A = this chain, B = another copy of it.
Amino acid sequence: MVQNMTYDELILRIIILLRDGKIKEFRSMIDELQPYDMAFLFKEMPEKHRARYLSYMTVDDITDMIGELEREFQLAVLHKVGKTKATLAMNKMDNDDLAALLEEMDEELKEQLLSSMEAEESKAVQLLMNYPQESAGRMMTNRFVWIPQHYTVKDAVVKLKSFAEIAESINYLYVINDSKQLVGVLSYRDLILGDPEDKVQDLMFTRVISAGVLQDQEEVARLIQRYDFLAIPIVEENNVLVGIVTVDDIIDVVIKEADEDYEKFAASGKAITFDTKAYVAAYRRLPWLILLLFIGLISGSILNYFEDTLQKVVALAFFMPMIAGTTGNTGTQSLAVVIRGLAKEEMNKKTIFKLIFRELRAGIYIGIVCSIAITIVASVWQKDLTLGFVVGSSLLATLIIGTMAGTIVPIILHKLNIDPAIASGPLITTLNDILSLLIYFGIATAFLHAL
């Protein structure tokens, strides 16, 4: 029984079926598998069995499987199955997947494949590729069923049956008027429950939530999440229905956006996964590191300026790492709260002032607690109450200012329409290094006569 087999057992069984040429048993086994499973098996099986595995699959199986493969494997599959089967599969692929795939190909191969596809499908995918990256238009599919508003339930069911293949994964029917404008939506369930003679326009839901082709994918994700939709219709400016975006693509968007936020926050460079080559990883990380290295030298030149103070009281240096570090940490904390919030909340003047004021007070509370602790520790450790006081009051000031830096920098970037996540933890930490050293040695120099 296929349903309880592990992947290893499945691979073994499939290889035996392939070897023995049992195509019928192979097919009935493949029918029970999910596209992800077919793709997983393809990747895990020894290279030498792959060609036969593909040759035993139907075009539908290949189409389903390709959607679950990584780019390099997709190209390998299309190459292995030959041009005829490849073109058939491409005709059936989701447009958004196909658009992403074609973009990776060289111009010549792309043209060749597009021209061999069905005219309608080829046109549809080329349309998609005209929309900007990360827009709703780029990720929509034309595999959905629309019906004119004058249809009855019976008409709709007939149309649905004839489009069965493409209507596979979505359970809404979109209703349009004579100008192809979106006027309503109806669920499969409404069809099942409706009387065959009922008019679609009487059953349909007319306040349809839709997104524009040019809207950012994150906004589309927010709509789907907010309304708990399984799909959302995509319209052009004049409300003409051109496609739908489905919830499975949205989950991928949400995960990808979270990854990107994380990468930016850590200044770790774009798209470094476990498979990235070492020199590529180094190359992607170096720009930030070198920039921050030179900003870090500014901190050093501040010390240069305070050389006399440092020379006289070397003990001041002992507290440098702690002050700079703690200021960096509080800034990073504020930054994280602000950036995650900016991604989700509607920002207006009131919200911003409330936030800044909240962080200011939080910075004061944090500053008071930390500076009392360090005043005591420093005084006892160095047996010098004045030094303790200098360190403690410096920390109070730097923590308040560091918290504010972590709050205000991303807000300013947001206001300037720059992605606030560009203000990474390392950047705020480096800036706070400079601020904290200036304050610390400024206060220390002022009290130099007493130290």
Residues on A lying within 8 angstroms of B by beta carbon are 2-3, 32-36, 157, 160-161, 164, 167-169, 171, 188-189, 191-193, 205-209, 224-230, 247-248, 250-252, 254-255, 258-259, 261-263, 265-269, 272-274, 276-279, 281-282, 285-286, 288-290, 292-293, 296-297, 299-301, 303-304, 307, 310-311, 314-315, 317-322, 324-326, 328-330, 332-337, 340-341, 345, 351, 354-355, 358-362, 365-366, 369-370, 373-374, 377, 425-426, 429-430, 433, 437
B193 touches A227 (CB 8 A): no
What separation, in Å, do the CA atoms of A281 and B261 have in the docked complex?
A: 22
B-chain residues with CB within 8 Å of residue A228 when the two chains form the complex: 35, 169, 248
A-B contact pairs, 6 of them (CB 8 A): A274-B337, A278-B362, A282-B366, A285-B366, A286-B370, A297-B322
B322 touches A299 (CB 8 A): yes
A206 touches B351 (CB 8 A): no
Q: In angstroms, how far is the closest chain B Cβ from the Cβ of A145?
A: 10
B207 touches A2 (CB 8 A): yes
Q: In angstroms, how far is the closest chain B Cβ from the Cβ of A280?
A: 9
A296 touches B326 (CB 8 A): yes
B157 touches A192 (CB 8 A): yes
What separation, in Å, do the CA atoms of A377 and B297 have in the docked complex?
A: 10
Contacts A251-B250, A333-B267, A336-B263 hold; do A322 and B300 have CB atoms under 8 A apart?
A: yes
A193 touches B317 (CB 8 A): no
A193 touches B161 (CB 8 A): yes
A192 touches B189 (CB 8 A): no
In chain B, what residue has the closest Cβ to A399? B289
B-chain residues with CB within 8 Å of residue A334 when the two chains form the complex: 268
This protein's copies in its complex: 2
B-chain residues with CB within 8 Å of residue A247 when the two chains form the complex: 230, 247-248, 251
Q: In angstroms, how far is the closest chain B Cβ from the Cβ of A209?
A: 7
Residue picked from A225, A226, A282, A365, most chain B C-beta under 10 Å: A282
What separation, in Å, do the CA atoms of A289 and B310 have in the docked complex?
A: 26
What separation, in Å, do the CA atoms of A292 and B332 have in the docked complex?
A: 13
Q: In angstroms, how far is the closest chain B Cβ from the Cβ of A310?
A: 6
In chain B, what residue has the closest Cβ to A427? B329
What separation, in Å, do the CA atoms of A385 and B118 have in the docked complex?
A: 69
Residue picked from A269, A304, A351, A362, most chain B C-beta under 10 Å: A362
In chain B, what residue has the closest Cβ to A252? B225
Given A262-B265, A274-B358, 9 extra CB contacts under 8 A = A191-B192, A247-B251, A254-B254, A266-B425, A278-B362, A279-B365, A293-B322, A297-B319, A333-B426
B-chain residues with CB within 8 Å of residue A426 when the two chains form the complex: 325, 328-329, 332-333, 425
**CB < 8 Å neighbour of A336 from B2, B250, B255, B265:** B265
**CB < 8 Å neighbour of A205 from B32, B254, B345, B374:** B32
Q: In angstroms, how far is the closest chain B Cβ from the Cβ of A138?
A: 18
**CB < 8 Å neighbour of A301 from B205, B262, B314, B318:** B318
B254 touches A251 (CB 8 A): yes
B325 touches A314 (CB 8 A): no
B-chain residues with CB within 8 Å of residue A325 when the two chains form the complex: 292-293, 296, 299, 426, 429-430, 433
A324 touches B322 (CB 8 A): no
Contacts A325-B429, A332-B426, A340-B262 hold; do A318 and B300 have CB atoms under 8 A apart?
A: yes
B328 touches A266 (CB 8 A): no
Q: In angstroms, how far is the closest chain B Cβ from the Cβ of A296?
A: 4
What separation, in Å, do the CA atoms of A312 and B403 have in the docked complex?
A: 36
Contacts A207-B3, A361-B278, A425-B425 hold; do A320 and B300 have CB atoms under 8 A apart?
A: yes
What separation, in Å, do the CA atoms of A167 and B171 have in the docked complex?
A: 13
B-chain residues with CB within 8 Å of residue A226 when the two chains form the complex: 36
State the 3 A-B residue pairs at the shortest beta-carbon distance, nearest first: A266-B336, A258-B258, A296-B322
A161 touches B192 (CB 8 A): yes
What separation, in Å, do the CA atoms of A365 and B286 have in the docked complex?
A: 9
What separation, in Å, do the CA atoms of A192 and B189 have in the docked complex?
A: 10
What separation, in Å, do the CA atoms of A194 and B337 have in the docked complex?
A: 52
